[in-house]
Amino acid sequence: MNTVRTRLSGYGRRFHPIGLSGALMFFAWSMTPSLLPRAWYLQGVATGIGVATGYGIGCLLAWVVRRCGIRPQWSPRARRIGWWTLAGAAVIVVPTFLVLGSWWQQIIRDLVGVPRASGSFYLLVVLIAVTVALLLVAAGRGVRTGTNRLTRFGTRFVPVPVARLSAVVLALMLGVFLVNGAVYQVLLGVAERSAESADGGTADGVTAPVLPERSGSPESAEPWDSLGREGRTFVAGGPTADQIESVTGEPALTPIRVYAGRESADTIDGVAERVVAELERTHAFDREALAVVTTTGRGWVNSNVAGAFEYVNGGDSAIAGMQYSFLPSPLSFIADRETPQEAGQALFEAVHRAWSARPESQRPKLVVFGESLGSYGGQAAFASGADIVARTDGALLVGTPNFAQPWGRITADRDPGSPERLPVVDEGRNIRFASRPDDVDLPGTWEFPRVVFWQHASDPITWWSFDLLLREPDWLREPLGPDVDPGMRWIPFVTFWQVTLDMVFSADVPAGFGHSFGPEAADLWVDILAPEQWDETSTVRVRDALTGIGPQD
């Protein structure tokens, strides 16, 4: 027992009091509210990272002070008082902010309309946080030990400053190689093989279409088995002509949905050409409106956005999509940001060439839409917002990630006085931003073509950026959105990890919050396309049908 106590005491003395003070401060900050409610175990991870960060910053500050020649000589009594003061602060701060953190999370849950969770689970936050923090501190110490040894070895050949700099550079290069090289490639390969295997399945209740207007049907050149799991769901879904007629009260056509799977061709361009061939086969260029959708990850399309487009056009429409990856969106978000752009550009350019080849009077309206990685990839076909306006008849870009362009440039160049979360661009002449449908109702004239960026103030996918580490963004400096906790504040390092972990369940909230976009797509398509003889009652009926309480049910 004495041996264990001695070891624990020795281990505890290895921690710097200034570092522990920083850790305690970051513990409290990590409990503050962010964009969305977090599960208790994610809170534990966020807190653990925050504690380790605070400890590291505290140790860094102490090191800087020592390097400046300030080395206070504290008496044993003063040291004891300092340690007891720190312990007393921890006894007060930790339980207080556990309670506050649980309370803040309940407020956010009420705000986004999800059930409250038991606050008792927050007792486990401390256990997870301490474990994560100790692991990160141990890793940091391991790196420090390694660089010190490399430095000692290097001093045999070069001066100490050169040896230390070389050791740090070598350690960084080795870390990058391990994380972004060997380990990254192995994990990515395993993930892709697993995802490819899962892509062979079909969702429950999804059956092959028999109508010629759909890819995967008997008349289609794209075999049902080649479309991928999400592609099969897409072509087999959506409203029928009868359902559209029952909602709109007007004669309707069967909507066209064409799609090609990743394995249908050797290249992204080849897959895009197969989609165009399906458009030609189904006579999609003879429809009133043609939409090019860039999918997310392994091929998903938001059924609300697609279905609303078809209802608003009375079925006189076609949607073209393709699969470009086997990876689900979260992995594509981290590991592969090039392929979505290649796919978005390849598909739009292929469709645009075929569309442009027709006489102008015989062309359908050409629109684009996409959500998340789909919005990111779809925008790659355009150099600017003006380019979107010039080359399309409208666009609905949903839940755009922060790194997407031209979204980033459009947002940065917004009219003075307009907020980052809902920018006004050129007084809303062609491009408008919306969190709710009525956000597009600006004073000026909305000219055609109309482009809408649909984004929520509480969506971490849209607001996550490495800049959050050290710079307060405008969307937190300005008045917060109505779906964001009024108590949210930017805290260096802490906010970055909070928003990072908010992304994990960003779509698992009711429509209208986070990264969940639902039947309000009908309102936005009506605004973009302005169909004739359409009224608010028709929009409500479409929303009800998409929700499942109308004739589509």
pLDDT per residue over 320-356, tens digit each?
A: 999 998 776 666 666 677 889 999 999 999 999 999 9
Q: 99 with 131: CB under 8 angstroms? A: no
475-481 long-range CB contacts below 8 Å, 24 or more apart?
Answer: 475/419, 475/420, 475/421, 478/419, 478/420, 478/421, 479/419, 481/421, 481/422, 481/435, 481/456, 481/457
Residue pair 509/486 in contact by the 8 Å Cβ criterion = no
Residue 53 pLDDT more than 80? yes
CATH architecture of the region 209-456+517-540: 3-Layer(aba) Sandwich (3.40)
Comparing 488 with 76, which gets the higher pLDDT? 488
Please report the DSSP string for 499-549 in residue order.
Answer: HHHHGGGTTSS-TTSTT---TTHHHHHHHHH--TT--HHHHHHHHHHHHTS
Per-residue pLDDT band at 552 (split at 50, 70, 90): very low
- Residue keyed to tokens 């190689």: 177
In the chain, ranges of CATH 3.40.50 domains: 209-456+517-540
For residue 402, give both structure tokens: 């922060």
Tell me the per-residue pLDDT of 420-467, one tens digit each, with 9 for 90 and over: 999 999 999 999 999 999 999 999 899 999 999 999 999 999 999 999
C-alpha to C-alpha distance for 298 and 317, rounded to whole angstroms: 24
Q: Is residue 363 within 8 Å of residue 327, measured between CB atoms?
A: no
What's the chain's average pLDDT? 89
Are the C-beta atoms of 473 and 453 separated by less than 8 Å? no
Which candidate, 459, 453, 477, 472, places its Cα nearest to that of 398? 453
pTM (two decimals): 0.90
Q: Residue 249 burial (CB < 10 Å; 0-12/13-18/19+)? A: exposed
Q: In which band, very low, low, confident or very high, does the pLDDT at 79 lie, cut at 50, 70 and 90?
A: confident
Strand 365-371 relative to strand 450-454, pairing = unpaired
Q: pLDDT-derived band of residue 183, with 50, 70 and 90 as boundaries?
A: very low
Q: How far apart are the first and last CA of the chain?
A: 68
* pLDDT tens profile 186-221: 555 555 555 566 677 889 999 999 999 999 999 999
Q: What confidence score (pLDDT) does residue 550 get?
A: 42
Q: Kindly report the number of other CB atoms within 10 A of residue 197's CB atom.
A: 10
Mean pLDDT of 215-241: 96
Contacts of 97 (CB under 8 A, 6+ apart): 27, 28, 31
Which pLDDT value is given to residue 553? 32
The DSSP letter of residue 364 is: P
Mention every residue, 6+ apart, whose C-beta is less than 8 A from residue 76.
none
User: What secondary structure does DSSP assign to 315-342, as a single string?
Assistant: T-EEEEEE---SS-HHHHHHH-SHHHHH
What mean pLDDT is predicted for residues 121-140?
89
Q: What is the DSSP string of 372-400?
A: THHHHHHHTT-SSHHHHHHH-SEEEEES-
* Per-residue tokens: 335: 């590991």
